[in-house]
Structure 1
Amino acid sequence: MSVVTNISHPTKAASDELVPSRYSLRVGDIEVLVISDGVFSLSASTLATNVEPADLSAWLTARLESVDEYKWPLNVVVVRSGDRTVLIDSGVGEEFPDAPRVGKLIARLDAAGIDPASITDVVITHLHVDHVGGLLSEGLRSRLRPNVPIHLAAAEVAFWTSPDFSQNTFGGFPDVLESAESRFVDMYRGQLRPFETEFEVAPGVVACCVGGHTRGHSVVHIASGGDRLTFLGDSVFENHFDHPDWHNAFDHDPEEAVRVRLALLRKLAASGESVLAAHLPFPSVGRVAVNGDVFRWIPTPWDY
């Protein structure tokens, strides 16, 4: 079974926030920092587009959550391995000005004492706005080192040259998704480093194209000294442990997303390794267990 250990990071800037916004751990010799970009609210119906509203409401009610509004956590990851500092995804940046509780990455990098100029590589799991929006913000972009390489799956770039929005609702946001992707590719075209199947970004840090949520969606495997952790991006949402067959409103190919999700959850349950994900409640560190025909999420106790 994989073991992760909590570590401390020195901070250069204090934060007056009343809730924690970062959580650090170690995977072997690799340092991992989970940073909350905040939370944003969407209609709860975006969680499942292929079930009866009453079934979704029952799931939410059983968790004492609103049946109308779902507050989506958004997690970004910074990994330090060898002489590389890797930013995985970038949050929403300034793309949702009417959502003041999200888009916090740059302030929280500062609070964690991480200079954006120290970032040697960026990995983008997929090109949705809540994963590339931070890089569209001048506040982050202007502080990155010039020509920092941005790694993503070639299939993801190819899909967005002519995106197909015919298979799902996209929560009413297809125009927002396409606009952010187009601006991102135009802005960073010369820095994109597409890979076909997988790419080792830093020692023990491997981006792997699995598809599903989007055609070129990637996960990131982190391994060192016998310890393992996987960042799932948007492959799994909170309701998918109980209902892995529920279609998320932002799955581009819902049936393929289910296939990929089940394969990942079975593999993670068998390995017992640690897991992070973009939209699980912060800090999203935990493990997956089999629970009959479905699964169970086991959060890792906070280690101080």
Structure 2
Amino acid sequence: MSVDSVALGARGLDELVPSRYAVQVGDIEVLVISDGVLPITARTQATNADADEYGQWLDDRFLPHDVLDWPLNVVVVRSGDRTILVDAGLGVEFPDFPKAGQTVHRLEAAGIDPAAITDVVITHMHMDHVGGLLTSGLKERLRPDLRIHAATREAEFWRAPDFTHTDMPAPVPPTLRRVATQFLDQYHGQLRTFETEYEVAPGVLIARTGGHTPGHSIVRLASGADALTFAGDAVFAPGFDNPEWQNGFEHDPVEAARVRIALLRELAATGESLVATHLPFPSVCRVAPHGDVFRCVPATWDY
């Protein structure tokens, strides 16, 4: 799809189960796209939680105690003459995850030509955020002048990553390291790094938070009276009512919890919308205070 007056996703295919959801943020168009779901061990979501308390949390949501299907969302943003892909999903090289890695197909279903993408924002370099850019069927269709934005600290971290404080299944860290190295090798010439924040397009600001990874970043959208934050992996489903529960993929879990609480407090105060990578699709919600913790209030679908 070319960058023209047609709304993002308007020329896409009809689907029995929708994989995209459009949101308007002032003059900025946003399309949340599901990359699918990937299985994770349930305890990864709350490695420091009391087992009985976490078990009750899972039961209250009719979720299994062994393996969860973890939602995986990416976002396409159009502001001015820029069309921006925020994260790129898992990619297709992982046969153990057959229900994830759908970004290239979902872009096609939405009628979005990868050649129309001018910029990619990487919240962090875990494989479920950069793997799609390594996928045959997508990378060769990207424009040669594509600009990829990520925090300087993130690129530096993956040259010698530290997994000391993570709590992941044993095969995961070497795979994360390999995919991040491959990504940096293939796209080093197109990578544009920033220190603390960078405006990619009018009203589209990347801001480094750290925590989940040293260079983890969020994307803040603002136009007119509207605002939306794509939080990447700063917020997970248990993080609203249990924001101090730690996720096994967090490289600095204490700092990640601090970042999460500060972000949720801010969003509860401003009332702006939230989208995050691993919240159930389409994940558009608002944050409400609930005593000392928070509630996720899903947006009413507008269609």
Tell me the TM-score range normalised by the shorter chain: over 0.9
Alignment coverage as a number of residue pairs = 296
For residues 196-215 of structure 1, the C-alpha deviation after alignment (integer angstroms, 9 at most, x for no partner) is 01000011000000111110
The alpha-carbon distance between structure 1 residues 171 and 272, as it changes in their structure 2 partners (threshold 3 A), is: farther
Aligned residue among 110, 127, 130 for 1:129: 127
Q: Which residue of 2 aligns with 1:221?
A: 220
Distance 1:225 1:199 in 2: 19
Moved over 4 A (4+): none
TM score, norm. by length of structure 2 = 0.95
Note the C-alpha offset of 1:241. 0.4
Where do 1:172-251 residues align within 5 Å?
Answer: 172=170, 173-251=172-250
For residues 225-257 of structure 1, the C-alpha deviation after alignment (integer angstroms, 9 at most, x for no partner) is 121000000000000001100010100000000
Q: Which residue of 2 aligns with 1:162?
A: 160
Q: Which residue of 2 aligns with 1:3?
A: none
Whether the aligned pair in 1 keeps the contact of 2:8 and 2:112 (CA below 8 Å) is: no
The alpha-carbon distance between structure 1 residues 146 and 8, as it changes in their structure 2 partners (threshold 3 A), is: closer
In structure 1, stretches of 5+ residues that fail to align are: 1-6
Note the C-alpha offset of 1:160. 1.1
Whether the aligned pair in 2 keeps the contact of 1:214 and 1:253 (CA below 8 Å) is: yes
Distance 2:238 2:99 in 1: 22
Are 1:9 and 2:9 counterparts? yes
Note the C-alpha offset of 1:53. 2.3
Counterpart AA for 1:220: V
Counterpart AA for 1:42: I
Whether the aligned pair in 1 keeps the contact of 2:89 and 2:132 (CA below 8 Å) is: yes
Q: Which residue of 2 aligns with 1:293?
A: 292
CA RMSD in angstroms, aligned pairs only: 1.1
Counterpart AA for 2:221: I
TM score, norm. by length of structure 1 = 0.95
What SS does structure 1 have at the residue aligned with 2:137?
helix
Distance 1:136 1:155 in 2: 21
What SS does structure 1 have at the residue aligned with 2:141?
coil
For residues 64-101 of structure 1, the C-alpha deviation after alignment (integer angstroms, 9 at most, x for no partner) is 11111111000000000000000000000113222211
Distance 1:245 1:265 in 2: 12
For residues 90-119 of structure 1, the C-alpha deviation after alignment (integer angstroms, 9 at most, x for no partner) is 000113222211111111101111000000
Distance 2:163 2:211 in 1: 14
Distance 1:266 1:174 in 2: 31
Distance 2:174 2:34 in 1: 25
Distance 1:99 1:215 in 2: 26
The alpha-carbon distance between structure 1 residues 8 and 84, as it changes in their structure 2 partners (threshold 3 A), is: closer
Deviates more, 1:266-275 or 1:165-174: 165-174
Counterpart AA for 1:177: L
Q: Which residue of 1 aligns with 2:90?
A: 92
Note the C-alpha offset of 1:8. 7.0
Counterpart AA for 1:115: D
Whether the aligned pair in 2 keeps the contact of 1:171 and 1:250 (CA below 8 Å) is: no
Distance 2:144 2:26 in 1: 30
Identity %, equivalent residues: 59
What SS does structure 1 have at the residue aligned with 2:40?
strand
Whether the aligned pair in 2 keeps the contact of 1:170 and 1:251 (CA below 8 Å) is: no
Counterpart AA for 2:240: F
Distance 1:20 1:178 in 2: 33
What SS does structure 1 have at the residue aligned with 2:294?
strand
Where do 1:144-163 residues align within 5 Å?
Answer: 144-163=142-161
Q: Which residue of 2 aligns with 1:116?
A: 114
